[in-house]
Amino acid sequence: MDAMHARLPADFWAVPYAGARFPGAKAVAERPGLAAGANCQLFAYAVLEHFGLAPAPLRSSELWDDTRTTVRVGAPEPLDLLLFNASDRAYGAHVGVWSGDDAVLHLCAEAGRPAVWSLADFAARPRYGVVLGAKRVTRRARRS
């Protein structure tokens, strides 16, 4: 386990996959946090928030098009978001967090809980076979 993974609280590793819990969902507004589960985006954003970044609550296609709070990067660095899909469309893309050394932390229905996969692990699955690219969140969380 790399240093980034080791710095995540244990409860992050127990988050169940819940497809209906996405950024902007009524269920998330009514019960914030990860205890009731998350989809890939909600989980990835919570990881970034833990490390002091402030991602906007965007769905995958909005995230890919966003230029206000994120920038596209050619070579990902730890804490950059990676988007995967079965096609080259951002709509419905899967979102994970690059943690370096060919490792992507993510939450998906197949694994059920957070997992760390290599790019080859994603490529072996048709639904994640296309790496759309990486986005870097540029906003930092305000310190209180």
Here the tokens at position 38 are 């998350």
3-state secondary structure of 25: coil
For the residues 85-101, what does the mean pLDDT come to? 94
**Mean pLDDT score of the chain:** 94
In a domain, 68, yes or no: yes
How many independent structural domains does the chain possess?
Answer: 1
In a domain, 42, yes or no: yes
In this predicted structure, the answer to whether residue 144 has a pLDDT above a threshold of 60 is: no
In a domain, 143, yes or no: no
Here the tokens at position 61 are 């296609």
Long-range Cβ contacts of 36-39 (<8 Å, 24+ apart): 38/107, 39/107
3-state secondary structure of 21: coil
Q: 21 is in which domain, residue-wise?
A: 3-137
Whole-model pTM: value is: 0.94
Closest CA to 11 of 34, 32, 30, 38: 34
Question: Phi and psi at residue 63, in whole multiples of 5°?
Answer: -60, -45
Residue 55 contacts residue 41 (beta carbons within 8 Å): no
In a domain, 75, yes or no: yes
The whole-number pLDDT of residue 143 equals 66
CATH number of residue 9's parent domain: 3.90.1720.10
In a domain, 37, yes or no: yes
In terms of pLDDT, which residue wins out, 5 or 115? Answer: 115
In a domain, 144, yes or no: no
Here the tokens at position 24 are 């902007």
Tell me the pLDDT band of 3, cut-offs 50, 70 and 90: confident
Q: Among the listed ranges 1-5, 31-35, 123-127, which one has the minimum average pLDDT value?
A: 1-5
Taking only the tens place, the pLDDT of each residue in 60-80 is 989 999 999 999 999 999 999
Closest CA to 79 of 112, 61, 103: 103
In a domain, 77, yes or no: yes
Residue 34 contacts residue 43 (beta carbons within 8 Å): yes
